[in-house]
Structure formats: C-alpha cells, structure tokens
Structure 1
Amino acid sequence: MKVAIAKRGCNGCGLCTDICPTIFKMNKNIYAEVSSKEIPFDKEKDVLEAEINCPVSVIILN
C-alpha cells in the first residue's frame, strides 16, 4: 500500500498525525505530509483509519 496527501486540500487539523504519527507528520507550514510513502503491513490499519476520518478527504491510498 502507498499513501499520499493532496496538499491543496489539507486544513492542518492533525488528525492523521494523531492516528498514525509514524507515517504522517506536520510540516513547517502546519500541513500534513507523508513521512513514508510505502506503508508497512502493521501500519495499514492505522493509515486506513486516518483516510476514513480525514475531515477534508485528502489522504490518497493506492
């Protein structure tokens, strides 16, 4: 599984970093970014939860 964030839509709420801090982080502009594009198997559930709960639906999985 791979993950990305559509930068233009992120509102910087930080929910994804709260759910899965090993994959998502906040950048210096206080928007979320992906720290690891390849998701380890043991983190897939957390990344899916972050995608489902993102209030602006900018987390993209493939």
Structure 2
Amino acid sequence: MKASIDREGCIACGQCVEICPEVFAQDEDGIAYVHQDVPAEAEEGAVTAQESCPVSVITVND
C-alpha cells in the first residue's frame, strides 16, 4: 500500500502525523510528507489519516 500527499495543498495541521506517524511526517515548515510506504500494520491508520485530512490532499491506495 502506498500513500501520497499533494504538498501544495497541505495546510500543515499535523493531523495525519498524529494519526499515523509510521507513514507521515512534517518538514521544518510543517508541511506533511510521506516518509515510507504504508506497512501492513499501519494501513488502517493511513486510511484514517486520508479520511480525516481537512483539505483532502492525502491519497492511500494499493
């Protein structure tokens, strides 16, 4: 499973990092990025992060 973020649309809220730090991190400006493919044990968290993103810039798929 892979995740991606449209970094131009990210508002740096940090919600994805709080929900699934196994996959998401923030740079020094607070903009989120994907730091690894989604491990099996983090799939549910990654999907929850996608669904919770207030600006819908996260995509998680197979």
Same fold (TM over 0.5): yes
- Tell me, yes or no, if structure 1 residue 14 matches structure 2 residue 17: no
Q: Which has the higher helix share?
A: 1
Q: Which runs of 4+ in 1 moved over 2 A?
A: none
Secondary structure, counterpart of 1:22 in structure 2: coil
Relative to the length of structure 2, the TM-score reads 0.92
* Aligned residues: CA RMSD: 0.7
Quote the Cα distance in structure 2 between the aligned partners of 1:8 and 1:40: 25
Relative to the length of structure 1, the TM-score reads 0.92
Unaligned runs of 5+ in 1: none
* Percent of paired sites with the same residue: 39
Mean CA deviation greater in 23-32 or 50-59: 23-32
Task: Give the equivalent residue in structure 2 for 1:25.
Answer: 25
